[in-house]
Amino acid sequence: MKSKFNHYSERAKELRALLNKANYFYYVLDSPEIEDSIYDQLYRELIELEKANPSLVTSDSPSQRLGGIPSKGFKSINHNIPLLSLDNAFNIDELKAWYSKIIKLIGSKNTTIKEIQKPAVICELKIDGNAISLRYENGILTKGATRGDGKMGEDITRNIRTISTIPLRLLLNNPPPWIEIRGEAFMPNKIFNKLNLERKNNDQPLFANPRNSCAGTLRQLDSKIVSSRKLDFFAYSLYLPQNWEPNDCNLKKPTSQSESLEFLKNIGFKVNTTSEKKKDLNELNNFYKYWEVKKNSLDYATDGIVVKIDKFELQKILGSTNKAPRWAIAVKYPAEEKATKLKKLIFQVGRTGAVTPVAEFESIELAGTIVNRATLHNAKRLATLDLHYGDTIVVRKAGEIIPEVTRVMKEFRIIDSNLVKLPSHCPECNSKLVQESEEAITKCINSECPAKIKGVLLHWVSKGSMNIDGLGEKIINQLVNLGYVKSIADLYKLEINSLLSLERFGEKSANNLLREINESKTKNWHKQLFGLGIPHVGEANAKSLSKNFKSIEELFTSSKDSPEKISNIYGFGTEITDAIIKWFDNSNNQNLIKELKSIGFSLKENLKSKENNSNLLNGKSFVLTGTLESLTREEAKELIENAGGKVNSSISKKTDFLISGEKTGGKLKKAQELGVKIINENELKLLL
């Protein structure tokens, strides 16, 4: 029989292997293999084993290093000041134990500081992003680096410069010779959702959560791509030379974490405004519980709170281990996962023919919403899960946003249940499916597949494209199923009798829809271009292309003869350029262009309209809030942009006008505070 020690030794060896492998997938490949909650459980088990049996500690143990290995592709950079990680607590009892230990440690130093029995703490949200180190020399940003292993990271300065919330020059009259800033880069939820929607429309694999998406973006070799994804940044700590003092009367050198956050804000950084100073454990507990509920209302992902002893003097007394500061701890929220029963798997066909497996399961509540389905992305993910019909599955919301199936509980599997496989033929048209060797995507290549036609039409009539009011999914399904429409061009050949044969259609609604369809021929060039559904060409890229190429002929010629004109556009690269070239090479797309021109689409810039309108608002910036009386937001945005103005999503000092409607939010208050001119819809029309 094995001794207890041998058993512990074998388990420690197994845990080290599992954790080191997980670290490699997470830090080097940016492709997490296991969920955070499981990693934390395994790590804590190893720590407990090593604590009880010190002789089990080895040099390759994850407990003996700060993080993972920096990934290749960027120049390595040494951190002048190491980026230590934080110790974790997983409930309030563990937090209380940490706080009690802190009090004893301070007391053991025989200090005369009054706050020994009740040191004030500051609570901050733990942003679920990527830790970044910034170095400024004489007030100018000189280096930006990833955390890496805490001692050495990757030099991503070019990418860091694209993040607008990171100042290139500090707001300091007498900047020190150097200053080091620590903070969290993250992708806002609305940007993440938009990016995933574009990837879905282009039949690309979706990002699992905002954190992974942010990490992948920061490691892009093309900084234009980084810029297009609009990352954000919260600064949370700084390091200054000991002998430097600011000469600005509004600034004083911080002596605590709360003061340092204020200092960071004053020198040009964005800081998280949810942080609060607390005087006891009861207040701390209230903060933790409040944000456990409210975190789902934020536009960024957070997986817990960070508690820090506020005074720098006490932080210095407490010091650090070789891994983490003793004066700070992260208190994580439990990862919300629930088990449910798989009901069935359906296979959706997108507008490019990509087949996506979607799990439908018994309804569960996750992160405040009812969930009953989740995409499994592609055949590779389906095979990895080893999913069988009738399985009990575990579901969570990735990044608190997208439902995902994390694993199968095989111990509850029904005996002799059948393995779920991707179909060999299209579920819509029964054509044989193909999988291109370089892709994980399985496709239907039948150009007449009803599902593909429906997807193309839905994209064409969407808000960002033709914005045809009244032509939704149900009507498109009827038109395709009855054989009235087999292409975009067929929409413009519809007759009133065809519409009258549809469910719930009268003469008035039929005439209104025909008018809407016909009027869509006059939409702007960039909207026509977006509607074509070229892979990787979302609304933003369509606008960029329309500014550089005045017609479809110009773009087509460049794709054949001078593709560098496309790849040199800011935010573009070889992937987007190759997708455009491939799209134009397709004979079906060439026929689509001919058909659209034959029914009245210009597929080019309206120079006369631009000449009449482009200087009316002369580069002025606008922000919209509330519900307008007669215009939708999309219509108002189009009017402003046609007249040379720019529409932003957030208020700043540089905003010229806030257009305010009914049921406004916080933008109105912020505009009033910043002195931004506030106008209504009628005043906008007067400007035009």
Kindly tell me the burial class for residue 542, based on how many C-beta atoms sit within 10 Å of its own C-beta (0-12, 13-18, 19 or more): buried
Q: How far apart are CA 479 and CA 548, in angstroms?
A: 36
Q: Of 309, 160, 322, which is closest to residue 226 (Cα–Cα)?
A: 160
| In contact, 162 and 226? CB cutoff 8 Å | yes
- The owner of tokens 């509607």 is 531
How far are the Cα atoms of 71, 461, 531 from residue 523, in angstroms, in the given order? 46, 11, 10
Residue 226 DSSP label: H
Cα separation, 517 vs 461, in Å, equals 9
Indicate if the alpha-carbon torsion angle 473, 477, 479, 480 is positive or negative.
Answer: positive
- Name the DSSP class of 7: H
Furthest CA-CA distance within the chain: 92
Q: Are 571 and 541 in contact (CB under 8 A)?
A: yes
126 is catalytic: yes
Long-range pairs for 264-267: beta carbons < 8 A, 24 or more residues apart: 264/181, 264/235, 264/236, 264/238, 266/171, 267/167, 267/170, 267/171, 267/172
> What is the rounded distance in angstroms from the CA atom of residue 7 to the CA atom of residue 53?
12
- CB-side neighbour CA atoms (13 Å) of 74: 27
Q: Give the HSE-up count for residue 13: Cα atoms under 13 Å, Cβ half-sphere.
A: 6
What Rg do the C-alpha atoms of the chain give, in angstroms? 29
| CA dist., res. 544 & res. 538, Å (int) | 10
Pairing of strands 677-679, 657-660: parallel
Determine which one of 75, 104, 126, 443 is catalytic.
126
Q: Which residue bears the tokens 């197994």?
A: 14
Closest residue by Cα to residue 566 from 580, 552, 553: 580
CA 539, CA 207: separation in Å to the nearest integer? Answer: 19
Distance CA 587, CA 595 (A): 12
What angle in degrees, to the nearest 10, is found between the helix axes of 473-481 and 450-460?
Answer: 140
SS3 assignment, position 196: helix
Strands (E), 26-114: 76-78, 87-89
The set of residues, in sequence order, having a beta carbon less than 8 Å from that of 656 and lying 6+ positions away, is 620, 621, 622, 676, 677
Give first-to-last CA distance, the chain, whole Å: 88
Q: Within its chain, how far is the Cα of 276 from the centroid?
A: 26
HSE, side-chain direction, 13 A CA sphere, residue 477? 5
Cβ proximity of 284 and 120 under 8 Å: no
The percent of the chain in helix, strand and coil, each rounded to the nearest 5, is 40, 20, 40
From CA 592, how far away is CA 27, in angstroms rounded? 45
Active site residues: 126
